[in-house]
Amino acid sequence: MKTAATLPTPWFAPAWLVRFLRSPISTVVGSLLVLVVVAGVILAPLITHADPMALSSDTLLEPAWAHPMGTDDLGRDELARVLYGGRASLVIGLFSALLSVILGMTIGMVAGFFGGAIDETLMRITEAFQILPKLLVAVVVVSLIGSGLTNEVLVIGLLSWPATARVIRGRVQVIRHEEFIAAAEMSGASWLRVLVRHVAPNVVSFLLVSASLQVASAIMSESFLSFLGLGDPAHPSWGLLLQQGQLFLSDAWWLTTFPGIALAMTILGLNLLGDGVSGSRIVAGSRR
Amino acid sequence: MTPLVRVTQLTKQFAKTRAVDGVSFDIAPGETLGLVGESGSGKSTLGRAVVGLLPATSGESIVDGQNVGTLRGSARKALWRHAQMVFQDPYSSLNPKMTVRDALAEPLRNFGIARGAEADKLIRETIEACGLPASALPRYPREFSGGQRQRIGIARALIVRPNFIVADEPVSALDVSIQAQIINLLQDLKSEFGLTYLFIAHDLAVIRHVSDRVAVMYRGKLVETAPAATLYATPRHPYTQLLLRSVPVPDPKAEIERRRNVTGAEVTNAEATDNGCPFAARCPMAKFPTCSDKAPELSAKASDHLVACHFA
Amino acid sequence: MSEPVLSIRDLHVSFPTATVVQGVSFDVMPGEIVGVVGESGSGKSMTARSVLRLLPKSARLGGSIRFRGQEVLDMSPADIRAMRGALVSMVFQDPMTSFNPVLRIGDQIAEAMTLHGQKDRKTLSDRVASLLASVGIGNPKARARAYPHEFSGGMRQRALTAMAVANGPALLIADEPTTALDVTVQDQILQLMRDLNATSGTAILLITHNIAVVASLCRRLIVMYAGRVVEDGPTDEVLTAPRHPYTWSLLQSVPRLDRATGRLVAIKGQPPDPAEPLAGCKFHPRCPWVEERCTRDEPPLEDGVRCWVRPAL
Amino acid sequence: MVIAVASRLLLRRALLAVPLVFAVVALTFFFIRLAPGDPAQILAGDAPTPEFLAQVRAEYGLDQPVWTQFLAFLAKALTGDFGTSLYSKQPVFAVILERFPATVLMTGTAMIVASIVGILVGVASAKRAGSHADTLISSASLLGYSMPGFWVGQLLVLLFSVSLDWFPATGMEAARASYTGWRHIQDVAWHMVLPVTTLALFLLTMIARFTRAAMIDALDQDYVLVAEAKGASRNRILWHHAFRNACVTTITVIGLEFGAVLAGAVVVEIVFGWPGLGRLFYDAIYRRDFPLLTGAFMFSSLIVIGVNMVSDVACALLDPRIRR
C-alpha cells in the first residue's frame, strides 16, 4: 500500500483515479451517473441554446435533430426543459436533504449519546414521524400553505429526518458503548470533545450514506408533489414535466419518457452511491 | 499505613438489579488486589464504579484522597489525573480513527500535562516502556495485533503517570501465548512506576499469579477476601471452594486428584430467597432458614481473612 | 486392533488468500477422546469443520478424511447430510448464538431426529424429554417448550450437547465447548462429556485453546501451530515431558492454579500471518532454540514431534 | 393460546397508538391554523357566500378560543365526522367510504403479489449472495426502487396500452358495457393488471431489498451452522431457520413503509384513472376542497397506524424475544 502510494503515477492514471476505479462497482457507476446529471444541469446553456420557457408554434413535435427530445404542447423545447427542470429538482433535493440530514444527525446523535429518558423521548417522536404517511402529510401542508421552492424544501426536509436519525442513533449507540469512549472520558476529555473528536469521526461514513439516500428520496418526494400539481410552476421540475406529460400520454410519449429517464437516472445514481459507500448493500437495506 | 483506595458500602443499581451491592474494601499503596468472579457477578461494574467511570448509586469510593463514589460529570476528572483504567477488549478500546500518537496525546492535552516537544518525549518514553517502538506512533490501531493493541491501551493509561490502575480483564481477550507477555508487562510497569492495581479477571490462575490479595465476588457482593496464598491454600467460603474445585489443571496427575474431590452434582436449594445469602441457592453447606433469612456480612475469620458466610 | 472411527491424512484447507491447514494427519479410535490444542489461527477449528464439510464456500479441501473407512471428501451432498448429526455431530463454542432464537428448544432438538427419519410425535417428545433429563435439566417436559432466551448459558450448552447426541453418534466433535462458560459450568459440561463417553462409547474430538481442559478429559493430545500438527502423543507424556519447543513454551506461559508460579516465560512475538509465506519451521521466529536449518527447511512430523532440534526440555 | 397472546399484544399496541392518533388529529388542526389567512375561508373554499362562511364559522366554532376549537375538532374527528365536502356537499366520511373499496382492492392485491414475489426474489438473491445472479437481481431491484411509481405507470401505459393495446389504460371497468357476475369480475381484473403491476413493482423491490439484507444477516448466524451440522437441507435452513428470523424485518418494513404505499396508490390511481381514495386526494387538491383533503388525510393516517399495529403484533408473535 505505502509503496504504491509513493510510486510516481502516469498523468492519465493518477493515484486517486486508480483508487476510485478499484472501489465497489456501485460507487463507480453511481458517481458517474450523478456526475453526468449534475454536469448536464449546470452546463445546460452550453448543451442547448433553446430557452425552456420560450413558446413557439411547433407544438408536440416528435424528437428530431432540431429538438432532440421533441417539443411540448406549447412548443417549448423538451431538452431545455429537462435540463433546466433538473435545476429545480436538484436544488429542492439538495436543500431538503441538507435540512433533514442536519436535523436527523442532531437528533440521532443526541439520542444515541445521552441515552436514557432523552433517547426514549426522541425515539418515540421519531417513530411517530416515521409511521406518519409523510407524502400525504406533505400534500396536505403544501396544499394549505401554498407551493413554492422554499415551502417544498421545508416540508420535505422537516418530514424526512427520521431515517437519518435512526441510522445515526444506532451507530452512535454502538460507539457509545465501545471501550475507547470510556477511555476518552478517563483521558479527561469533556463530553463535547468526546462527541466531536471520538464519536463523530466514526459516524461520518454513515452520515454520507444517509445524505446520499436522503437526496434521492427528497427528489422523489418533490416529483410526487409536483405530479399532484403542487409543484412550483415558476420553476418547473422533472415531476412537473411528468405531470404535463400525463395529459398527452397517448399522443406524445417523449414528454413522459425523457424527464422520467433523467429522474430515474439521478435517483439510481444516488442510491448506488449510497450503497457503494456503505461498502455493502446492507446499510442501505436496513435503513428504517 | 493509610490505604490508597478505600471503598465503603459501594452500590450500583441498574433498573431493578443491584449489580454491585454494598461492597467495601481497601487497597494499600503498591498492592495488587485481584477481583475474581464469574460473568454477571458485577466485577466489571465494580471496577468502573471505583474509579467513577460509572457513578455509584450510593456509597463511597475514595482514591488517593478523592471521593468519587456518586459524583458525575467533570467533578470526576480530577481523579483521572491519578487513576486510570486498562480495558478488556483491545479491538474496542482504541479509537479506529486516531493514530497511536493522537491517542497518547489526548490525556496530556486534556489534563494540561505537557505539550510540544515535552509531550513528544513523554509519548516516546511511555510507548517504549510498554514494549513498542516509537515507529508505531504515526500508525492506526488496525495495523496492530491484539497483544500490541493492548500495549497501546496500557501506554494510554500509563502516560498520565497514575498511581492507581484498574485493569479490567486485561488478558482475557488475548491468545494464551500473548497473555503471558501482557501479564509480565503489567508486573514490570508496577515495579518501575510504583503502581497499585485493582486487577479484575475471571481466570483464577491469572488472579493467583498477579495478586497480593484476592477478593471473590458473587452476584454483586464480596464473599471472601484474603491474601492470595491464604485464599488458594485454605478457601473458606463454599463458593470460593466450588470455584477452586472447578478449575482443571494442566497436569494429568493433579487433575485426577482434583476430580476425585469433585462431587459433580450441582446443588439447588429451593428454600433460598432474595433476602438471604446470595449463594444459598447453590450452596452445599446451606442450612435453612438461617441462610435464607439474612445475608451474612463480610467478617474476619482470621486476621486479614474476611468471609461472608454464616457457617464458614 | 479395531478400525479408527476417523482417519485424517495429509489434510489441506486453503482459502484464496491463505492456506490455513497444511498436512494434518491423525486418527481417532472408537470410544477415544482426542484433544486438539492450539491458539486462534492454528487451524484447529478448520480441521474440525472439514470433517463435516462445514467450511465456507471459498475453502478448498485436499487430502483425505475417512469416517469408518468411507472417504468424506468424495461423498455426495445427500450422504454428507445423512452423516451430519446422525453419525458425526458437533457442539459449537457459543451456546448463546447456537440456538435459533425464534424456535422452541425442544423443537430444535426434535429436528435433529426428524431430519434422520424419526417422525412419530409422541416418540420424539418423549426422547427430547429424556435427553434433556440426561444432561441434567430438571422438569424437561416444560423446559422443552421454552425459547432459547429463557435458558442460561450453561443450560443452553447442556441442551446443545443433548441435541448433538440425540441420534447416538459414533463421533462427537466439540469445538471450544466450554470457552464461553464460567468455570463451574465448564466443569459440569466436561463431566457430562466424560459420562457420555463412558456410557455410550461415543468418540470425542475436543478442540480447545485450554490445555487444562484437555488434561481433564483426553487421553491423547494433538498440538497445532500455524496450520500444522507440531506434537502428538498421550496427554500425560505431552504435558509432563513436552518435546516440541512450542508445547513447552505454552505450558510455561500459563499461570498455574495448583502452585505459585514465578515470572511467566512469555513466548516472544506473534503467530505468523497465514497470508505471508514463511520459510522453514513456522515457529522458528519465536523459538529460543532456533538453528540455521530451522529457518530454511520445514521439519517433518516424526515420532509425534515436528522439530529439527528437539532440545532437552 | 396464540389468539390470547395476540389479543393481549393488540390491546397493548392499541394503547400505544392512541397518542399517535391524537397527534395526527392535532397535526391536521395545526396545519389548518398554520395556513395563511382565515381558517374559515380555507374550510369554506374559494369565494364563498357570506352565509356559508358564517355557517362554517359556527360549525367549526371558529369564534371560540383556540382550545375549544381544537377539542371540538377532535371530538368530531374521533366520531368520524370529518366535515362536509365543499364540492359534493356530502359528508366527507361518506365520500371516503364510497371510494375506499376500490383502493383496498388494488392496494391489497398489489401487496399480496409484491409480498410473495418480493420475498421469493429476496430469499433467492440472498441464497446466492455475491454471485452474478444476485448482482443482477439486486441491480434490477435497485433500479425498480429508483423509479417513481407514477412514471413506471406511465411507461406501462405507453407500452401495453398505447403501443400494444393489450390492457386498458384507465378506469376500473369497461365504460360502455355494464357486465354482471363473472364477466364483471373478469373485467375488473383485466383493468387491474397495469395499476396493480405498477404499485406492486415499487413494493416488490423494497421488500426484496430488505428481505435480502435480513436473510444474508440471518444466514451468517451460528444457528444456521448448527442446523447444517444437524443434517438439515439447504431449503430447510433457508426457510425454516433463516427466513423465520428474517421475516420479522420484512414485516416491520412493510408496516413502516405502508404510508409510502398509500402515497404510491394515490399516484397510480391518478395515472390509471382508478376511482379510489387517491383520485379523491387529487380531486380535493385540484378543487381546493380542504375538508375533503384533511378528512382523507386523517382517514389514511388512521389506516397506516392500524397497519403498523398489526405488523407490530405479527412480529411479536413470530419472535418470542419481542413479546414482553
Examine the pLDDT at C47 and tell me if it is beyond 60.
Answer: yes
- Domain range for A254 is 26-49+65-286
Q: How confident is the model at residue A284 (pLDDT cuts 50, 70, 90)?
A: very low
Residues C100, D232: C-beta atoms closer than 8 Å: no
The closest CB to that of A281, out of D213, D259, D270, belongs to D213
> Does some domain include residue A6?
no
CATH of the domain at A228: 1.10.3720.10
> What integer is the mean pLDDT of B63-79?
83
Using CB atoms, which chains have 3+ pairs under 8 A with B? A, C
- Residue A3: predicted pLDDT: 37
Residues of A within 8 A of B95 (CB-CB) are: 180, 184, 198, 201-202
Q: What is the spatial distance between Cα C48 and Cα B297, in angstroms, rounded to a whole number?
A: 49
Q: Is the pTM higher than 0.95? A: no
Phi, psi (5° rounding) for residue B198? -110, 110
Average model confidence (pLDDT) for chain A?
A: 82
The answer to whether A185 contacts B156, with C-beta atoms less than 8 Å apart, is no
Q: Do both B185 and B281 map to the same domain?
A: no
The answer to whether residue B310 sits within a structural domain is: no
Q: What average pLDDT does the segment B89-109 reach?
A: 94
CATH superfamily of the C6-295 domain: P-loop containing nucleotide triphosphate hydrolases (3.40.50.300)
Q: Please say whether the beta carbons of C112 and C85 come within 8 A.
A: yes
Using the predicted structure, report yes or no on whether residue D149 has a pLDDT greater than 90. Answer: no
Whether residue D44 contacts residue D288, with contact meaning beta carbons closer than 8 Å, is answered with no
Answer yes or no: is pLDDT of A288 > 50: no
Task: Please check whether residue C176 is in contact with residue C209, taking contact to mean a CB–CB distance below 8 angstroms.
Answer: yes
Chains C and A touching, counted as 3 or more CB pairs less than 8 Å apart: no
Position C208 confidence tier, pLDDT thresholds 50, 70, 90: very high
- The arithmetic mean of pLDDT across residues D65-76, rounded, is 78
Nearest one of A224, A126, A130, A133 to D302, comparing CA atoms: A133
Contacts of C39 in chain B (CB under 8 A): 175-177
Range name among A118-132, B285-299, D155-169 with the lowest pLDDT average = D155-169
Whole-angstrom distance, CA of residue D129 vs CA of residue A261: 29
The grid coordinates of residue C24 equal 494434518
List CB contacts (< 8 A) between D321 and chain C. Answer: 101-102, 147, 149
In a domain, B307, yes or no: no
Judge whether residue B2 has pLDDT over 90.
no
For D136, other C-beta atoms within 10 Å of its C-beta total 11
* Beta-carbon separation of C54 and D225 below 8 A: yes
- Looking at residue A280, its pLDDT comes to 43
Bridge partners for D117 per DSSP: none
State the pLDDT at residue A8. Answer: 55
Best probe of the C interface among B143, B231, B249, by most C CBs < 10 A, is: B249
Give the A-side interface with B, CB within 8 Å: 178-180, 182-190, 193, 198, 201-202
CB atoms within 10 A of CB D124: 17
Least confident window among A235-249, B7-21, C211-225, C247-261: A235-249
B242: closest chain C residue by CA? C184
pLDDT at A77: 77
CA distance A260 to D150: 10
Between B117 and A26, the higher pLDDT residue: B117
Q: Which stretches of chain B sit within 8 Å of chain C by CB? A: 38-39, 145, 147-148, 175-181, 183-184, 187, 202, 204-206, 208-210, 229, 232, 242-255, 259, 262, 264, 266, 268
Asked if residues A270 and A218 have their Cβ atoms less than 8 Å apart, the reply is no
Partner residue opposite A178 with nearest CB, options B80, B81, B92: B92
pLDDT band at A281 (very low <50, low <70, confident <90, very high): very low
Would you call C187 and B246 a contact, using CB atoms and an 8 Å cutoff?
Answer: yes
Task: Judge whether D131 is closer than 8 Å to chain C, CB to CB.
Answer: no
Q: Hey, which chains touch A, using 3+ CB pairs under 8 Å? A: B, D
Instruction: Locate all alpha helices (DSSP H) within B132-175, ordered by sequence.
Output: 146-158
Of the pLDDT bands very low, low, confident and very high (cuts 50, 70, 90), residue A228 is confident
Is the per-residue pLDDT at B167 higher than 90?
yes
- Tell me whether residue A56 is in a domain: no
Average pLDDT, chain D: 83
Is residue B33 included in any domain, yes or no? yes
Q: What is the pLDDT of residues B178-228, one digit of tens each?
A: 999 999 999 999 999 999 999 999 999 999 999 999 999 999 999 999 999
Q: Is the pLDDT of residue B264 over 60?
A: no
Other CB atoms closer than 10 Å to residue B268's CB: what's the count? 9
Question: Looking at residues A19-36, what average pLDDT do you find?
Answer: 80
Q: Count CA within 13 A, CB hemisphere, residue D301.
A: 33
Q: What integer pLDDT is reported at residue A287 of this predicted model? A: 29
Q: Note the pLDDT tens digit of each residue in C293-311.
A: 999 999 999 899 999 988 8
Contact D285 A230 (CB under 8 A): yes
A246-250, B103-107, C31-35, D262-266: the lowest-pLDDT one: A246-250
Query: D134: pLDDT confidence band, cut at 50, 70 and 90?
Result: confident
Cis peptide before C274 (omega within 30 of 0): no
DSSP state of C177: T
Q: Distance (Å, rounded) from C-alpha B230 to C-alpha B214? A: 9
- Name the residue with higher pLDDT: B161 or A231: B161
Task: Specify the DSSP class assigned to residue A201.
Answer: G
- Residue A1, pLDDT > 50, answer no
Q: Does B211 share its domain with B263?
A: no
Contacts of A118 (CB under 8 A, 6+ apart): A110, A111
- Asked if B143 and B28 sit in the same domain, the reply is yes
Q: Containing H/E element for C14? A: strand C6-14
| CA-closest candidate to residue D183, choices D194, D195, D174, D196 | D174
The answer to whether residue B156 sits within a structural domain is yes
| CB-CB contact of C128 with C74 (8 Å) | no
pLDDT at A286 over 70: no
The identity of residue B122, as a single letter, is L
> Helix (H, G, I), strand (E, B), or coil: what is residue B198?
strand
Question: Which pLDDT tens digit goes with each residue over C214-267?
Answer: 988 999 999 999 999 999 999 999 999 999 999 999 998 888 888 777 888 889
Per-residue model confidence (pLDDT) at position B70: 77
What value does the mean pLDDT take over residues C26-49?
93
Please state at what angle helix A78-114 crosses helix A149-176, rounded to 10 degrees: 40
Q: Is C269 left (phi over 0), alpha (psi -120 to 50) or beta?
A: left
Give me the pLDDT at residue B272, please.
79
Within 10 Å of residue B231's Cβ, how many Cβ atoms?
A: 26
Contact in structure between B199 and B85 (CB atoms under 8 Å): no
How close is the nearest chain B Cα to the Cα of C13, in Å? 22
Task: Identify the closest residue of chain D to A263 by CA–CA distance.
Answer: D147
Asked if C146 reaches chain D (Cβ–Cβ under 8 Å), the answer is no
Task: Write out chain A residues lying below 8 Å of B98, CB-based.
Answer: 198
Q: What is the pLDDT of residue A2?
A: 35
Rounded CA separation B10/B57 (Å): 8
Residues 6+ apart with CB under 8 A from A30: A268, A269, A270, A271, A272, A273, A274, A275, A276
* B-chain residue closest to C269, CA distance: B178
Cβ–Cβ of C240/B251 closer than 8 Å?
yes
pLDDT band, very low/low/confident/very high, at A141 (cuts 50, 70, 90): confident
ipTM of the modeled complex: 0.85
For chain B, the domain total comes to: 2
B47 in a structural domain: yes
Query: What's the whole-number mean pLDDT along residues B243-255?
Result: 86
Q: Distance between alpha carbon A80 and the CA centroid of its chain, in Å?
A: 22
Residues of C within 8 A of B205 (CB-CB) are 254-257
Give pLDDT, residue A143: 82
What whole-number distance in Å separates Cα of residue A26 and Cα of residue A34? 12
Q: Is the pLDDT assigned to residue A4 strictly greater than 50?
A: no
Contact B81 A188 (CB under 8 A): yes
Question: Quick one: what percent of chain B has pLDDT higher than 70?
Answer: 98
pLDDT band of residue D151 (cuts 50, 70, 90) is confident
Residue A87 forms part of a structural domain: yes
Are residue B133 and residue B272 in the same domain, yes or no? Answer: no
Flag whether B309 is in a domain.
no
What does the mean pLDDT of chain C come to? 91
Q: Which CATH number is B16's domain given?
A: 3.40.50.300
Q: Say whether pLDDT at A271 is over 70.
A: yes
Using a CB–CB cutoff of 8 Å, tell me whether D116 touches chain A.
Answer: no
Residue D131 confidence class, pLDDT cut points 50, 70, 90: confident
pLDDT 10s digits, C104-163: 999 999 999 999 988 888 999 999 999 998 888 888 999 999 999 999 888 898 899 999
Cell numbers standing for residue A32: 458517474
More confident residue, C48 or A24: C48
Structural domains counted in chain A: 1
Task: Report the amino acid identity of residue A48.
Answer: T
Q: Which of B53, B96, B98 has its CB closest to that of A182?
A: B53
Domain at D93-286: CATH code: 1.10.3720.10
CB contact, 8 Å: D322 with chain C? no
* List of long-range contacts for B15-22, beta carbons under 8 Å, 24+ apart: B18/B220, B19/B45, B19/B46, B19/B220, B20/B45, B20/B46, B20/B49, B20/B56, B20/B220, B21/B219, B21/B220, B21/B221, B22/B59, B22/B221
- Provide the CB-side half-sphere exposure for D78 (13 A, CA): 13
All cell numbers assigned to C27: 486418527
Output the furthest CA–CA distance in chain C (Å, rounded).
68
**In which domain, by residue range, is B289 found?**
239-295
Interface test with D, best of A130, A217, A227, A266 (most D CBs within 10 A): A227
Q: What percent of chain A has pLDDT over 90?
A: 25
Give the pLDDT of residue A285: 33
Strand-pair partners of B224:
B216, B307
Cβ–Cβ below 8 Å for B53 and A185: yes
